[in-house]
Amino acid sequence: MEIIKNAALLLNLRHPQRVTTVIPRSKQVDSNKVVVKWDIDEAHVLRNLNIRVPSPIEGQYHWPGLYKPFEHQKTTAAFLTMHKRAFCFNEQGTGKTGAAIWAADFLMKRGKINRVLVICPLSIMDSAWRADLFTFAMHRRVDIAHGPRAKREQIIEGDAEFVIINYDGVEIVREAVAKGGFDLIIVDEATHYKNPQTKRWKTLNKLLTADTWLWMMTGTPAAQSPVDAYGLAKMVNPNGVPRFFGSFRDQVMHKVTQFKWIPKDNATEVVYRVLQPAIRFTKEQCLDLPEMTYVKREVELTPQQKRYYKQLRELMVMQADGEDVTAANAAVCMNKLLQISCGAVYTDDQETLEFDIKNRYNVLKEAIDESSQKILIFVPFKHVINLLAERLKKDGITSEVIHGSVSAGARTEIIKRVQETDDPRVLIIQPQAAAHGVTLTAANTIVWWGPVSSLETYAQANARVHRSGQKHPCTVIQLQGSDVEKRIYKLLDNKIDVHSQIVNLYKEIVD
C-alpha cells in the first residue's frame, strides 16, 4: 500500500493537472487499491516501481476501423505502446500489421509521436500496409514513397502521417528521411536487417536517435541460423549483444571445421535473451482467428514482361474493334496475358519464351521464409514450374513437383514424403493435378504464383491444406503483378466463376 501511495504522489508532483483518487473505504472492494488516472509516462513510472499497470490503450482508446480487434491484437498493441524499442514476432496471418497501426494511432492521439515511417517489402506496401491503414485508421493521411527520387522526396516532405517505403528506398532518400520528422519507424519482415554489415542496416541505424521509437516485426526471427539474431538485437537491444559479431557467433555457434559451424546447445536461450523486449503470438494461440486468411502481394512486372504485355493488349484492342469477340478467342488472349505475367509464354510455334521472374521469385522467397510449416505453390503453367524448381534448388530449398505429366504412382510417393518427412519443404504443383482428393495438411501456407480461371479448381486447391487433420490456421497468398491477375483474383474472391465472365473480362481489359 505504501509503494502505491508513493507512486500516486509522484504522479501528482510530475503532472499536477492530473488527479489521483483514493477510493473511499465504503466503496472499496479491496482496501489496498487506489484508482490512478494515468498515461504513457505514468505507466512507465509505475512499471519502474515494479507495479504492473496495463498500458493506457487498454482502457482509454476507442479502437477505430472497420473491424473490432482480436484479443491478441489488443495485447500486442498494448505491448508496443509500452516499449520504445521492441520486437513483434507474431506469426504470419495473426494481424500484427493492424495491431501496430492501432498502437501508433494511440501514440499519435497522446502526442507521443507525430509521423510514422513504415519500411516493408515492395510487394506489400499497397496491398497490406496502405490497405490496412485504410481499414484500421482511415482518419490518418497515408502515402507510399516509391518511384523516382524526386517523387519519393516530395512524399516524404509532404503532410502524410504514415509514409510507406521499401527497404532499399530508404537509402535512396536517406537525407530526406532524416529530416522528415519520423519519430516512429516500423520495420516489417525485419529479417532483412539481420546483417549489420549491409548498407541497408547501416542506413537505418544512422536514422535512429535516442527519441526514435522502433518496432521490428517478423514471424520468423533467426529462422535460418542463431547468428541471424545479431543484427536485429544490435538495432533494438544493443546492450544485450557483444560489440562485435565474432563474439556473438562464439556464444551461439560451435566451429566444427574451417567452414562449418553448428548451433550450441544453449543457442536458443541466448537468442531469446538478446531479442528482447518482444511479444509473440502463434496462430495456434489465436483461437479467435479465422481458419483461412487471404493475403495479396504486389509483384512488379519486369520491363520485358511489361513490353510484351502491352503489345498483346494492343493487339487485343485491335481485334475487339468492331468485331464480335467469342469466349474461345477471349480465353486464349487472357491466357497469354497470364502466361506473360507468370514468366513464360508459349508462341504459336509451340516454342517457349521465358521472362525474368526475379521480382516474383523474391516475393515468393519472402513468403517461404515467413511460413512456420510447409508451403504449397500453385503454378498454372507447366514450363514455369520447371523454372521455379530450378531456382529453389539453386537456393538450397528442397522441393518436389507435381504436374500433369507426373504419373499417379509418383504423385502418391511425393505426397507421402510431403506429409510424413521433413523434406521437401516446398511442393510446386499444377492446380489441376491436385484439385480433388489430395490431403496436404503438412503445409499451412498456399502461394498462388498466378490465378486460375476455374473457381472450382481454385477452391478445391485451397482445400488441400484446409481439411481434416490440419492443426494450424492456414494462409493463402495471391501474387499479382498485372491488371488481368488482379481482376481474376477479385472474381475468385467473390466466388464468381471466371469462365462465365470471360468475355466481359476481356472487354474490361481492352477498355
* pLDDT for residue 323 is more than 80: no
pLDDT tens-digit readout, 407-461: 877 888 898 899 989 999 999 999 988 655 577 889 999 999 999 988 878 887 8
Q: pLDDT confidence of 22, banded at 50, 70, 90?
A: very low
Would you place residue 152 in the very low, low, confident or very high pLDDT band (cuts 50, 70, 90)?
Answer: very high
Cβ-proximal residues to 477 (8 Å cutoff; 6+ apart), any chain:
295, 296, 297, 367, 445, 446, 447, 448
On whether both 49 and 188 belong to a single domain, the answer is no
Nearest to 505 by CA among 345, 330, 309, 311: 330
Q: Are the C-beta atoms of residues 510 and 312 closer than 8 Å to each other?
A: no
344 assigned to some structural domain: no
Residue 196 lies inside a defined structural domain of this protein: yes
Angle, alpha carbons 505-506-507 (nearest 5°): 90
334 inside domain:
no
pLDDT band, residue 320 (cuts 50/70/90): low
Grade residue 166 by pLDDT with cuts at 50, 70 and 90: very high
* Predicted pLDDT at 44: 80
Residue 499 has pLDDT above 90, yes or no: no
Write down the pLDDT at residue 27.
Answer: 43
Instruction: Please compute the mean of the pLDDT values over residues 466-491 and round it to a whole number.
Output: 88
pLDDT at 64 over 60: yes
Report if residue 277 sits inside a domain: yes
Q: Tell me the torsion sign for CA atoms 346, 348, 351, 357.
A: negative
Q: Residues 138, 211: one domain?
A: yes
Contact 213, 258 (CB under 8 A): no
Give pLDDT, residue 244: 94
Convert 457-480 to b/e letters by CB count within 10 Å (16 or more is b): bbebbbbbbbeeebebbbbbbbbb
Q: Is the pLDDT of residue 24 over 90?
A: no
**Arithmetic mean of pLDDT over the chain:** 86
User: What local confidence, expressed as pLDDT, does residue 33 receive?
Assistant: 59
Is 340 a domain residue?
no
What is the structure's pLDDT at 42?
85
Indicate the angle between helix axes 96-109 and 71-81, nearest 10 degrees.
Answer: 50
Do 22 and 109 share a domain, yes or no?
A: no
- Between CA 312 and CA 302 the distance in angstroms is 15
pLDDT 10s digits, 345-376 = 877 666 778 888 899 999 999 899 888 889 99
Domain co-membership, 46 together with 175 = no
pLDDT for position 145: 96
Total number of domains constituting the chain: 3
Supply the pLDDT for residue 325: 63
**Can you read off the three cell numbers belonging to residue 193?**
536487417
- On whether both 126 and 226 belong to a single domain, the answer is yes
Name, of 50-54, 120-124, 248-252, 286-290, the range with top average pLDDT.
Answer: 248-252
Same domain, yes or no, for 12 and 127?
A: no
Q: Is the pLDDT of residue 143 over 50?
A: yes
- What pLDDT does residue 340 have? 92
Please report whether residue 65 resides in a domain. Answer: no
Q: Which residue has the higher pLDDT, 332 or 324?
A: 332
Yes or no: say if 52 and 74 are a contact pair by the CB < 8 Å rule: no
- pLDDT (0 to 100) of residue 169: 95
Shared domain for 86 and 148, answered yes or no, is: yes
Residues of the domain holding 443: 292-299+354-510
Domain containing residue 101: CATH number: 3.40.50.10810
Question: At 501, is the pLDDT very low, low, confident or very high (cuts 50, 70, 90)?
Answer: confident
Mean pLDDT of 97-126: 93
Are 373 and 231 members of one domain?
no
77 and 210 together in one domain: yes
208/202 Cα distance (integer angstroms): 10
**Do 37 and 80 lie in a common domain?**
no
Residue 332 domain-assigned? no
